[in-house]
């Protein structure tokens, strides 16, 4: 099976169906296997439950396989009487009702081929533009949101934009609180906190509070996932410090999770990153936060550079956006202005395929970096005080 060529979805489905020893995997066991293989942490080290022999798959291919495995067994557990591929296409098409720009270019296909294109788009937009370290942290760590949403879809036969939006907003708010809890914050921690803060203001122009984020999480599975993501974000320099452990314990209490679950989640993160530190590129010489911030900057610089001419033209045609970007060089924009900047930038990105990464879940986190680099795209008169490096 080759997840990078056509027909892999049907092939993998047949392999899973024919595996009598794993005809079904209970939800709790499935989540544990997805965590131990790295899927939940955004670092797919191996295939969940060793259901497929690893024949030197790439990171992207492992992500595809693990996502499909997670969706396959979720379907087996909650709606085995329906057709899997048709169900998944319907699910992603339902999401398309609120994210049309994400899927509109691929919805003319059908069945398994369409699903393969959807999964490829969901994992990664373009090998040339998306750095693997960024892919690990932002996109792949949020892939389990698809699984949670699909479970809800199977139970209700519909999925609202509110559910997905609230879940992603809760993740961002709690991560922000996790980062803020650090006693010895580095320059990169502070930068990432500002990045999350800027992004949070864009959620319907209302900043989600910590208590609201906790309230949004209804199921035990959602709560455990948020806790694991929080543990991943606190892991720094080969350990989770005592103050951060105390914050995580409080988070567990707020989520009504037993303290044993919190301790186990911390142990799992420590174990995973200790065992696989040599297999994860972003841990080879830097901590997770520093790598995320560095590679986000590099990725945005590359995207802007490669789309310089077209982006410049689109910006010059958008008078209101130009005015707001000019203001951003001399003062902080208010919430209403930030919302306008985000909306107008996303409208521009829709017309430039290479910039579609910003339309993905988590893509809004990069918009403050985009605004930072755009002045370098424009004439010097745009920012008279800019010092060229």
Given a cut of 90, is residue 92 above it in pLDDT?
no
- pLDDT above 70 covers a percentage of the chain that reads 72
| Terminal C-alpha separation, the chain | 49
Residue 313 lies in a domain: yes
From residue 297, alpha-carbon distances to 265, 353, 387 in Å are: 30, 19, 19
Residue 182: phi and psi, rounded to 5, are -65, 135
Asked whether 133 and 295 are in contact (CB, 8 A), the reply is yes
Do 212 and 328 belong to one domain? no
User: Do 232 and 337 fall into the same domain?
Assistant: no
- Asked whether the beta carbons of 7 and 112 are under 8 A apart, the reply is yes
pLDDT band, very low/low/confident/very high, at 342 (cuts 50, 70, 90): confident
Neighbouring residues of 159: CB distance < 8 A, sequence distance ≥ 6: 91, 94, 95, 149, 150, 152, 153
What's the pTM value of the predicted model, to 2 decimals?
0.68
Q: Are residues 258 and 323 in the same domain?
A: no
132 with 107, same domain: the answer is: yes
Q: Does 24 have pLDDT greater than 80?
A: yes
The reply to whether 20 falls in a domain is yes
Q: What is the mean pLDDT of the chain?
A: 77
Cα separation of 112 and 117, whole Å?
Answer: 9
> Do residues 185 and 226 both lie within one domain?
yes
Domain count, the chain: 3
Give pLDDT tens digits for 234-256.
Answer: 776 566 777 778 889 999 999 99
Number of neighbouring beta carbons within 10 Å of residue 8 = 19
Query: Same structural domain for residues 146 and 167?
Result: no
Shared domain check, 125 and 79: yes
In a domain, 295, yes or no: no
Considering the domain boundaries, does residue 389 fall inside one? Answer: no
Mind listing the pLDDT tens digit for each residue in 283-315? 544 455 555 566 667 667 777 877 888 888 888
Q: H-type helices in 79-139, by residue range? A: 84-96, 100-103, 111-123, 132-134
Find out whether 235 and 273 touch, Cβ atoms under 8 Å: yes
Name which of 19-28, 112-121, 190-199, 293-302 the model is least confident about: 190-199
Look at residue 354 and tell me if it is in a domain: yes
Q: Residue 184, CB half-sphere, CA atoms under 13 Å: how many?
A: 6
**DSSP code of 239?**
B
Give me the CATH number covering residue 186: 1.10.3680
Tell me: do 148 and 172 sit in the same domain: no
CA distance 8 to 89: 15
Whether residue 325 has pLDDT greater than 60: yes
Residue 101: pLDDT band with limits 50, 70, 90: very low
For residues 12 and 142, membership in a common domain is answered with: yes
Asked which of 223, 248, 283 is the last residue of a domain, the reply is 283
pLDDT in tens, 162-215: 788 788 788 888 887 887 777 666 665 666 566 555 544 444 545 678 899 999
**Domain-located, residue 296:** no
Domain shared by 194 and 208, yes or no: yes
Residue matched to tokens 């998306």:
130
263 vs 43, which has greater pLDDT? 263
- Measured from the Cβ of residue 243, the count of other Cβ atoms closer than 10 Å reads 13
Residue 147: its pLDDT value, please? 93
Contact 352, 346 (CB under 8 A): no
Q: Is residue 288 part of a domain?
A: no
In a domain, residue 219? The reply is yes
For residues 249 and 347, membership in a common domain is answered with: no
Rounded to 5 degrees, φ, ψ at 85 are -65, -45
Nearest CA-CA partner of 261 in 216, 233, 240, 231: 231
Question: Torsion-angle region of residue 111: left (phi > 0), alpha (psi -120 to 50) or beta?
Answer: left
Mean pLDDT of 133-157: 74
The position carrying tokens 């990069």 is 366
- Residue 84 is predicted with a pLDDT of 93
Nearest 5°: CA angle at 143, between 141 and 145?
A: 105
Last residue of a domain, one of 111, 128, 156: 156
Domain ends where: 136, 156, 176? 156
At residue 9, the pLDDT reads 93
- Domain encompassing residue 120: 8-156
The arithmetic mean of pLDDT across residues 139-148, rounded, is 80
Quick one: 34 and 107 in the same domain? yes
């Amino acid at each position: 099976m080759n997840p990078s060529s056509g027909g892999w979805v049907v092939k993998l489905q047949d392999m899973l169906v024919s595996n009598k020893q794993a005809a079904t995997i209970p939800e709790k066991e499935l989540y544990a296997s997805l965590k131990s293989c790295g899927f939940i942490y955004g670092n797919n080290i191996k295939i969940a439950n060793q259901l497929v022999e690893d024949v030197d798959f790439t990171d992207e291919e492992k992500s595809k396989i693990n996502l499909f495995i997670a969706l396959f067994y979720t379907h087996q557990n909650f709606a085995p009487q329906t057709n899997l591929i048709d169900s998944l296409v319907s699910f992603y098409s339902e999401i398309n009702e609120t994210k049309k720009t994400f899927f509109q270019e691929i919805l003319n296909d059908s069945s398994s081929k369409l699903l393969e294109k959807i999964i490829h788009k969901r994992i990664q937009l373009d090998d040339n533009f998306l750095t693997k370290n960024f892919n690990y942290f932002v996109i792949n760590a949020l892939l389990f949101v698809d699984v949670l949403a699909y479970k809800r879809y199977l139970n209700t036969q519909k999925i609202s934009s509110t559910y997905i939006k609230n879940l992603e907003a809760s993740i961002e708010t709690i991560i922000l609180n996790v980062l803020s809890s650090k006693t010895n914050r580095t320059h990169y921690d502070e930068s990432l906190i500002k990045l999350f803060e800027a992004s949070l203001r864009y959620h319907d122009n209302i900043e989600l509070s910590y208590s609201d984020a906790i309230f949004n999480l209804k199921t035990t599975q959602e709560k455990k996932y948020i806790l694991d993501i929080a543990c991943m974000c606190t892991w720094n320099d080969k350990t989770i410090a005592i103050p951060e452990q105390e914050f995580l314990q409080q988070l567990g209490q707020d989520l009504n999770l037993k303290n044993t679950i919190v301790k186990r989640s911390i142990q799992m993160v420590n174990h995973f990153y200790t065992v696989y530190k040599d297999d994860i590129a972003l841990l080879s010489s830097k901590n997770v936060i520093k790598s995320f911030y560095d590679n986000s900057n590099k990725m945005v610089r590359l995207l802007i550079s490669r789309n310089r001419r077209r982006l410049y033209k689109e910006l010059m045609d958008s008078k209101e956006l130009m005015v707001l970007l000019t203001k951003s060089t001399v003062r902080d924009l208010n919430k209403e202005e930030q919302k306008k900047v985000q909306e107008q930038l996303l409208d521009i990105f829709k017309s430039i395929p290479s910039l579609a990464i910003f339309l993905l879940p988590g893509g809004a986190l990069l918009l403050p970096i985009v605004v930072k680099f755009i002045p370098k795209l424009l004439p010097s008169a745009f920012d008279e005080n800019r010092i060229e490096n």
